[in-house]
Amino acid sequence: MNTVEKLTRSEIMSRVGQKDTGPEMLLRSALHKQGLRYRLHDRRLPGSPDLVFPGFHAVVFVHGCYWHSHGCYRSTVPKTRREFWTKKFKDNKKRDKRNITSLLEIGWRVMVVWECALIGKNAMSAKKVAKQVCDWLHGEDAIGEITGSS
């Protein structure tokens, strides 16, 4: 049941942040404590990655489970306007895949850290997630993913 008017809902949704989200800030802080330095939201790269590590030629996206339709318990589909939301989430996933492919094609390594890895009932400590990111950065894998424990 929708408890607010359409215009109010639109206003609320327009304020949902894309940068400096809670999970992103947790990861940034933990990575910084490990001595890693990075650039933020480089718009010159496909998808404006959340964290860019030029020295490693690697980027990290911190994806919200809901908006990027992760499939975990945090990624539900609203009961109202299901068709709209299903299409929205499908389009988001297509865009994510396109951005990752483009980054790989131009020689960047890509890591996706899911929100559920950092907050919620299946979350790990930010320090543990940062350690996994650090290990990946120092490794050779082109693609990496960190999700909440099951």
7 assigned to some structural domain: no
CATH of the domain at 53: 3.40.960.10
1 assigned to some structural domain: no
Q: Which domain holds residue 92?
A: 20-146
Q: Tens-of-pLDDT digits for all 150 residues of the chain?
A: 556 676 665 565 445 556 668 899 999 999 999 999 999 999 999 999 999 999 999 999 999 998 888 988 887 888 888 899 899 999 999 999 999 999 999 999 999 999 999 998 889 999 999 999 999 999 999 999 999 875
Task: Compute CA 12 distance to the chain's CA centroid, rounded to the nearest angstrom.
Answer: 21
3 assigned to some structural domain: no
Distance from C-alpha of 121 to C-alpha of 99, rounded to nearest angstrom = 29
60 assigned to some structural domain: yes
Among 23, 22, 60, 26, smallest CA distance to 41 is for 60
133 assigned to some structural domain: yes
The length of the chain is 150
15 assigned to some structural domain: no
Residue 15 CB burial class (10 angstroms; 0-12, 13-18, ≥19): exposed
8 assigned to some structural domain: no
Number of separate domains in the chain: 1
Give the contacts of 39 (CB within 8 A, at least 6 positions apart): 51, 52, 53, 54
95 assigned to some structural domain: yes
Whole-prediction pTM value?
A: 0.85
